[in-house]
Structure 1
Amino acid sequence: MSATNLLHIQHLSKIFHSAKGDVKALHNIQLDIREGEFVTVIGPSGCGKSTLLKIIAGLDVDYNGTVSLGGRTVEGPGIDKGFIFQEPRLFPWLTVERNIAADLSLRKPEVRKKVDELIELVRLKGFEKSYPRELSGGMAQRVAIARALLRNPKVLLLDEPFGALDAFTRAHMQEVLLDIWERNRTTMIFVTHDIDEAVFLANRIIVLKPRPGAIQNVIRVDLTFPRKKSSTAFQQLRYKVLGEFDKIEELELVGGAGI
């Protein structure tokens, strides 16, 4: 593994067992992600995007192959891996600052300082004493991101975190997340169904194909930040990703015809 690679995945396969039979969710995933990289993962429903993310997070350890983070095998969840779900999952009885601190005491100067810095980073200054019920969906998700960053994880894993937001809030949150990434340079792996979102955020796009989930292609995004979705270069990359989906659809039609 190169010294610049943070995450190393080799020959990763995952099978779900049930009374109805076995389902091969992932097959022979091989992937390296560099420190400080922003990677988006996209593909049709059922291609194993969320399963891959949970394995990297250590939330699922029943698989074949190897997954290592910072040179150490991933054997379970830990503070070196932050995970953001589609829903913020905040504690409704705690304020913004206490949700971010979680089980750490705000009375400790180092915790207080870090929480204040994160509140500034996620643009929630002035809402420290607010409760989740008083926040918009985007604001609540920013609290969840700040909480995940508190312990300086090596990687931040985001499973369609903006999927439930309206288009305007979603676009705003994409800008906020990029601002956080550019300031912190935390390695991020972001699962999405949205092609524009994948191109807008990423250094690289991992396209997965389904049944079983496997890497269809890895597309490098060399656009500079800030990016404009209306630009010619952006649209060319968007069509390149769309082309991968067309290939997947053709493969599925051929496979279906042969059954």
Structure 2
Amino acid sequence: MADKLQVVNLSHTFEGESSENVLDGLSLNVADGEFVTLIGPSGSGKSTIFNIIGGLIEPESGDIYIDGKRANGTRGNISYLPQQDSLLPWRTVEDNVVLVQEINGSVDRGAARKLLERAGLAGYESARPDTLSGGMRQRVAFIRALLSPQDLMLLDEPFGALDELTRLDMQDWLLGMWEADRRSVLFITHSIEEALYLSDRILILSDKPARIIREITVPFKRPRQHDITLDDEFARLKREIYGLLKAGFRND
């Protein structure tokens, strides 16, 4: 399987009153149609990695390749879903969904409505974001990301602000939508269970300066159901990842 994304020997330091080395020789890849999750301590550089991949920050050293082409400092190569849905309150659900298409100059409202129906949002096309629940708003934001032309999706803790029951429901919904679309996904979460439930592979980051200290291939077949969380292997992997977290991710 070809790589959709390659991050090669990435290092970066933020200069200010005191220099802060954030990334140190970090390398990772995401194959076509693969769901890969980054998990690590708060402040370990996960958002910086996303900003560099998205072209918002030029790395101090190292390279980003998307579809085999060097992409350092170039924008427009990814679709992005942040923790906050970032919906525009003055636009309807449908108008929020097609926003990226408007920017790209080609709007397909028929496709937007079909995706909204698949997301359980039929009948809400004319609603304003402030009338929706948190889970519904995140569904709208995800549909907007799906309608962007880029095949690489970066999902930055999109369920972090939701309550536990809504979060579990959204995980199942995300997997159902992703199974039908199979884009390449790089996902950030602080939840070990969420990482194990959603991912093909989990990349564990050290504390700053961040580097990959462990890669775990998730062994569970797809499509997945939440009863895998009761599996002995699921519990073993959860303990392994938790042990790395508790140890502070310092493998010097």
Q: 1:109 to 1:87 in 2, by over 3 A?
A: closer
Conserved? CA contact 2:78–2:150, under 8 Å: yes
Q: 1:141 to 1:247 in 2, by over 3 A?
A: same
1:32 alignment partner AA: N
- Give matches, 1:1-259, under 5 Å: 4-19=2-17, 21-74=18-71, 75-78=73-76, 80-102=77-99, 104=101, 111-225=108-222, 226-227=224-225, 228=227, 229-248=229-248, 251=250
Conserved? CA contact 1:60–1:76, under 8 Å: no
Residues 76-115 of structure 1 show CA distances to partners (whole Å, capped at 9, x for unaligned) of 220x31111111010101111110011646xx99602221
2:169 alignment partner AA: H
- Residue 22 of structure 2 aligns to a residue whose secondary structure is strand
Residues 194-213 of structure 1 show CA distances to partners (whole Å, capped at 9, x for unaligned) of 11111111000010011211
Conserved? CA contact 2:100–2:147, under 8 Å: no
Q: 1:103 to 1:67 in 2, by over 3 A?
A: closer
Conserved? CA contact 1:26–1:48, under 8 Å: yes
Residues 22-55 of structure 1 show CA distances to partners (whole Å, capped at 9, x for unaligned) of 1010110111210100011101112111111221
Conserved? CA contact 2:101–2:147, under 8 Å: no
* Structure 1, unaligned runs of 5 or more: none
Q: 1:124 to 1:46 in 2, by over 3 A?
A: same
Conserved? CA contact 1:9–1:30, under 8 Å: yes
- Residue 146 of structure 1 aligns to a residue whose secondary structure is helix
Cα separation, 2, equivalents of 1:104 and 1:86? 21
* Structure 2, unaligned runs of 5 or more: none
Shift of 1:118: 1.9
Conserved? CA contact 2:101–2:148, under 8 Å: no
Shift of 1:64: 1.2
2:25 alignment partner AA: N
Conserved? CA contact 1:101–1:111, under 8 Å: yes
Conserved? CA contact 2:11–2:59, under 8 Å: no
Cα separation, 2, equivalents of 1:35 and 1:132? 33
- Residue 148 of structure 2 aligns to a residue whose secondary structure is coil
Cα separation, 1, equivalents of 2:54 and 2:148? 15
Question: Deviation above 3 Å: which 4+ runs of structure 1?
Answer: 246-249
What is the aligned-residue RMSD (CA, Å)? Answer: 1.9
Cα separation, 2, equivalents of 1:164 and 1:109? 32
Q: 1:207 to 1:125 in 2, by over 3 A?
A: same
Residues 60-81 of structure 1 show CA distances to partners (whole Å, capped at 9, x for unaligned) of 2243100010112223220x31
Cα separation, 2, equivalents of 1:104 and 1:204? 31
Number of residue pairs matched by the alignment: 246
TM-score by length of 2: 0.91
Conserved? CA contact 2:6–2:28, under 8 Å: yes
Residues 133-178 of structure 1 show CA distances to partners (whole Å, capped at 9, x for unaligned) of 1101111111111111112321110111111100001111111111
TM-score by length of 1: 0.89
1:211 alignment partner AA: K
